[in-house]
Amino acid sequence: MRFSGELSTKARRTRSRFQNRLAHNLRDGFATERVQATLRPEWSRFYIDGVDRGFLGPLTRTFGVSSCSILAGECEAELDVIVKVGTELFAEAVRGRSYAVRARRSGSHGFSSSDIHVRLGAALNPGATVDLGDPDVTVFVEVRDGRAFFYEDSVRGPSGLPLGVQGQALALISGGFDSPVAAWMALRRGIRLDYVFCNLGGRAYERMVAEVTKIVADRWSYGTRPRLHVLEFGPVVEAMRSRAKPAYLQVVLKRMMYRAAAEIGTRIGAEALVTGESVGQVSSQTLRNLRAIENASSLPVLRPLLGFHKEEIIERAREIGTYELSSRVREYCDIVPQRPVTASSPAAAEAQEAAVGLEELAAAISGATVHDVRGLRPESMAGASLYVTDVPQGAAILDTRPREAFESWHWPGATRHDLLALERDFGGLDRGTTYILCCAEGVRTAYLAEVMQRAGYEAYSFLGGAPRMRRAMPGSPHGSSDRDAF
C-alpha cells in the first residue's frame, strides 16, 4: 500500500504521526468489515497480509491511501534473481499477448531500472510481443532496498490526509446531494466530523438523513465514531413565519442553523463548521447572502463546494455512494412563499433575526438528541418512525382494508386502496403530502410505510390499525384508555 503524496512531503515527526494515524484507521476498517488481515507498517510502504481480497474495500475508502497492489511474488533484490522469478511468475500470463515491463527502484543497487526492463523483457519475449504503448499485460517490478516486488496492476485509493490528523469540525447535514459531498471532502482533508441536522420534516425525514449520514460514517470514517445531533426545527420555522418578513425567511433560517450548529460545535470542541453551500446555486447562496449569514456563527465556516457546479456534486455523490438515497430526500429548506431576497446585508439579516428572537432556537438546542451514527442499525432507524397514533392535520388517509370493512367505517376523507396495487403504484402520489396507512391490524401497512419512506415519502402506518384509529377520532364515543397508549 502506497501513501498519498502529501505524506511524503511532511517533516519526519509529522509524517510519523500521520502514518500512525493511517495505520489506526486501516485496522479499524479491517475490523469493521470483518476482514482477516494483518497490517505491517514500514516507513515507505504498508504491507497487508490477508486470506482474501476483502481488505481492498477498506483500502479504497481510507483517506491517506494513494494506491495498493496485490503482490504476485517477491524475491531478493539481485538482478539475476529478479529475472528468474519474474519469468516464472509471468511467462504464462504474457504468452501469446503483448506486454511491457515497468520497473522502479529505491535504494542502492548494482543495476538500474533500465537493466530490469531489458533483461526481464527479453526473458519474457518468447511467445509474446513487446508493446510499450498499450500492452495487454504490464509487469510491474518495484525494488526497495533488499527486496523486489512483482505485481500486475494497482487499485487507486482516495488519497488525501489520514482522517483525524486535522482536528474536529461539525458538518451541517440535510440529506440532499450537497452536504454529504461537502462532508466527504472535509474528511478527505483529515478533519474528523460530527454532524448536526435541523429537522424540518418529521420523523421520516430524520430517518432518511440518518441513513445518508450513516453511509458517509460507515464507508468513509474508519478510525472515528461520528455523532449525529438532531434538532427539531419546526417551532423555529413557525416563529420565523409569524415574525420575520417572508422574503428574508431563507436567510434567517440559515442564520438560525449556523447559530445552533456553532453552539453545539463549541460544546464538542469543534474548530469549524462545514456546509454544502456553493456560490449562486440557490437564493440563500449568493455572495451577498453568504456574507449576511456568516456572522451568525461564532466558528469559522468551511465550504468545500464553493466553486462546484451541481453536475460535479452529483457525480461525486455517485462515487461516494450517497446518490441513490440523496435523490429521494425531499427538499424541506425552501420555505419562502414569494421571491426571496438575494442581496441581503448583514444588518438587515440581523434585524430580521432579532425580530424572531432566539427562544425557540434555544429550546431546539437544549432538546437535541444525539446518535452514534456507526452504531445505528436499519431496524432501529425504522422502529417508532414507522408508526403514528394520531392523524396529523392535512394528512391523507390511505385505507387498505376490504371494501366491506371500509364502507362500514372509515376516517372522514380516507380513500380505499388495494394493498398490493398501492405498493406497486404509490410512485404516482404527491411527494408533498403526509400519508397515513391503515389496515385491519396496523401490521401489513408497516411494511408499505417502510418502502414509501425509503422512496422519499413521508408515510406512516397507524398503530393498531382501523380499530384504534376509530377510537382516536375526535368525538368518538369509544374514547381511549391507558392500554391504547403507544
pLDDT digits (tens, 9 = 90+) for 221-231: 999 999 999 99
Under 8 Å CB-to-CB from 258, ≥6 apart: which residues? Answer: 273, 293, 294, 296, 297, 301
Asked whether residue 164 carries a pLDDT value surpassing 90, the answer given is yes
Q: How many CB atoms sit inside 10 A of residue 54's CB? A: 14
- In whole angstroms, what separates CA 347 from the centre of its chain? 35
Point out the catalytic residue in the list 68, 198, 333, 439. 439
Distance, CA of 205 to CA of 234 (rounded, Å): 12
Which tens digits make up the pLDDT trace of 281-315? Answer: 777 789 999 999 999 999 999 999 999 999 999 99
Three-class SS state of 224: coil
Q: What is the pLDDT of residue 478?
A: 46
Q: State the number of CA atoms in the 13 A half-sphere of 477 facing the CB.
A: 0
Rounded mean pLDDT, 32-38:
93
Give dist(CA 243, CA 451) in Å, integer: 38
Lowest mean pLDDT among 242-251, 334-343, 417-426: 334-343
Query: Which pLDDT score, from 0 to 100, does residue 337 have?
Result: 59
Tell me: pLDDT of 381 over 60: no
What is the helix (H) or strand (E) element at residue 459, kind and residue range? strand 458-462
Per-residue pLDDT averaged across 316-330, rounded?
85
Q: Which residue has the higher pLDDT, 203 or 261?
A: 261
Bridge partner residues of 170 (DSSP):
194, 273
One DSSP character per residue, 358-415 reads SHHHHHHHHT-EEEEGGG--HHHHHGGGGEESS--TTPEEEE-S-HHHHHH---TT-E
Q: Residue 482: pLDDT band by 50, 70, 90 thresholds?
A: very low
Q: Give bridge partners of residue 155 from the DSSP assignment.
A: 68
Reduce the DSSP state of residue 111 to 3 states and report it: coil
- Is position 439 annotated as part of the catalytic site? yes
- Please, which pLDDT band fits residue 57 given cuts at 50, 70 and 90? very high
Lowest mean pLDDT among 54-58, 225-229, 363-367: 54-58
pTM over 0.85: no
User: How high is the pLDDT of residue 485?
Assistant: 22
Q: Average pLDDT over the chain, rounded to whole?
A: 90
**How does pLDDT run across 145-156, given as a tens digit for each residue?**
999 999 998 999
Q: What confidence score (pLDDT) does residue 24 get?
A: 98
State which amino acid sits at residue 124: L
Confidence bin at 358 (pLDDT 50/70/90): very high
Helices H / strands E in the chain, number of each: 19, 21
- In the chain, the N- to C-terminal Cα span, in Å, equals 53
pLDDT more than 70, % of the chain: 93
Residue 483 confidence (pLDDT): 24
> What would the mean pLDDT of 72-78 be, rounded to a whole number?
96
